[in-house]
């Protein structure tokens, strides 16, 4: 089961980083390379514990859908999303946030299991793990840009009154 760990330091408060990481609009902005968009479940605002979102995106030239549920949350330090439906056999994505001086360390821990047994393991070895590592690492860099500008491109502060 491949495990990808990525850390980045962001010159922004922990609360802003945490909220941007679970903001559906920010997610769409930070995954524009795969044309990701929310098409089911929570489609705007901040994701909360117990909620699901279905993402539609293009990976390897194929339009795909994936539904993930927020299974754990301790604001503003961690939340976990788990795939409930999609192309993987399973995945768990833990998002961690640690105050560091005047900023925040954001850590992503992504563990997944490919479908199709030995064929999936071969795909991991040949290309999928590299692809997923690049994908998992690209989003935090985009979140860093948003957070260090105050999150204004996605309308931060998001619709807290309606979601929290």
Residues of the chain above pLDDT 90, percent: 62
- What is the model's pTM? 0.87
Which residue segments constitute the domains of the chain, with CATH numbers given?
3-152 (3.30.530.20)
Sign of CA dihedral 17, 13, 15, 151: negative
Spatial separation of the C-alpha atoms in residues 65 and 61, rounded to whole Å: 13
Spatial separation of the C-alpha atoms in residues 144 and 105, rounded to whole Å: 10
Whole-number Cα distances in Å, 134 to 11, 21, 24, 58, 143 = 22, 17, 21, 15, 15
- Each residue's pLDDT tens digit, 46-104: 999 999 999 998 988 889 999 999 999 999 999 999 999 988 889 999 999 999 999 99
**DSSP E strand stretches across the chain:** 3-10, 37-41, 52-59, 62-74, 78-85, 90-100, 103-113
């Amino acid at each position: 089961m491949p495990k990808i760990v990525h850390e980045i330091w962001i010159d922004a408060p922990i609360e802003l980083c945490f909220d941007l990481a679970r903001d559906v609009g920010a997610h769409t902005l930070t995954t524009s390379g795969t044309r990701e968009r929310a098409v089911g479940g929570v489609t705007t605002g901040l994701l909360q514990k117990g909620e699901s979102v279905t993402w539609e995106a293009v990976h390897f030239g194929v339009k795909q859908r994936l539904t993930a549920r927020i299974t754990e949350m301790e604001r503003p330090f961690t939340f976990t999303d788990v795939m409930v439906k999609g192309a993987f056999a399973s995945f768990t994505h833990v998002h961690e946030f640690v105050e560091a001086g005047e900023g925040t360390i954001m850590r992503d821990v992504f563990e997944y299991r490919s479908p199709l047994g030995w064929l999936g393991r071969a795909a991991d070895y040949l290309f999928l793990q590299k692809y997923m590592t690049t994908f998992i690492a690209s989003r935090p860099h985009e979140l860093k840009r948003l957070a260090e500008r105050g999150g204004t491109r996605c309308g931060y502060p998001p619709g807290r009154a309606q979601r929290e």
